[in-house]
Structure 1
């Protein structure tokens, strides 16, 4: 089988052990003679998978009992619309902290629903850092929305200590399960699975139960969080295979040592590539300021466009996949999510050093 170092930004690498387990069970799940994809979402076999996935997520992230875990569809993009539809209040408006393209899109969708406000933005610096947060938010905001990690620009919130509001909402699509964070600080957390949790197709929502009680009651049924909470994410047919793979990824994470071990590994992996950038004497330049660097998405440029194209061409030939930067910003991006092994990052660092030496730098 061809060996590839998968640095794609999403859909992203899945643990080899998870893919092997899924392969073994694909045709015959737990001696039932059927794939899990063929089982009814109302049947006992899928129900067990569904609940195991929720319980594992609760255990790994230390989610308090007053929170509900939902498995929805439509990715973060649907959440951009569902959030204001459910939580915008008359004579109140939500506030958005802009740290990249996805938070911009979230605000744009909110403005289609009603009045929404930009609290602060890092756009003036081309989103190279997490902007300084105002010392005091107005409690008049219906909610305050943040994006914890920014895949395109390679920045990440190092801490949420200075972020205070009664109803915080976080899009954690690209760094959930990568490090410890205080769940109880947020009224709602959401994440598309296709970076750290599993394949595309399922979106995890972690919501304080009392929040859903206060949501808009006049929505179409399928767009109401209350609907999904009351029906345990089984109001309509869920993406059963994606949730099954999510469960396998969570089992893998637990066996590995949980969140602390994942965070340790992620720091080790990211440091290898950042060291190659920082020790290159300017041959490679990181996009993100050092205090805002992402452990998940490491963005950098070379000295000119021609050199960048050559770097990416040779990297592809050497088995590195997904290193091109997002089309909106160019350059290079190495996405070192949980399932990307240490060996891949070691190999990338080695390739970066050797490529620089070949150029006579």
Structure 2
């Protein structure tokens, strides 16, 4: 499909630079399979679902993966993208033309890394020097990797260390937050449980590639980034039981959706999973297991807008986004939410 079919006009003032306070006070647009739109708030989520439905959360934790350093006099910025092993990370490099394989980047705070390999997409494999765990090095030298559409408007600050982390964050490894889960609070989770809604967790370490623009003219030419994920056997069993007894699997975020669909067989049975996924969902994709999605509002011509268009229909989502913009919903990572229910 042509990528320009997924374009739309978004006024820059619709981009949220801070999250709603409290988190569950954010607005939520309900989009049904009949293309009906209803304005609500995240705190209304329990009443929008049915007892026996299952919300699927991503328990990844964002690490301080943004680094600023120097190679000689040249300023080098690095955004870690995907872990390779205990000391090596693949990273997108700012000012990468000034960096050559074999050179050392000094990130300050006694943190250095060797530019070990340059990849075809311009990223590098960075080999962090020394014996200390890389997590300790990042804690000294790294900052929270805010999305470029926020970081370009204001600097990262202490508030982001809390704001850009979900209440479910347990397992270090993400370089971007699973932002749909940012809206949840203990109070909302108590209301979810009281409504008889089931919950489950999985892990997908979100990579910086989630923010890369689609440069191809046709979706068939786009190469999707790889991300590591895991669905434990117990979680797979719970999700299959929900489907068996007639409950709906509602992914909280596109990360949860992509991992469940990666682990599902043709008949919708979900197996335990551990490994990389590069699943790219566009209109025409047949969903195997997921029956709903809670997600924030996405970039024009992004792979994520293509995904929601696959779930609900492109025309339905274009109409929903026109309504959201006209109604002054807040967009992107710190923005408002939507609940998409095909049936």
Q: What's the TM-score once normalised by structure 1's chain length?
A: 0.28
| Structure number having the greater helix percentage | 1
Question: In terms of Rg, which structure is larger?
Answer: 1
| More strand as a share of residues | 2
TM-score by length of 2: 0.29
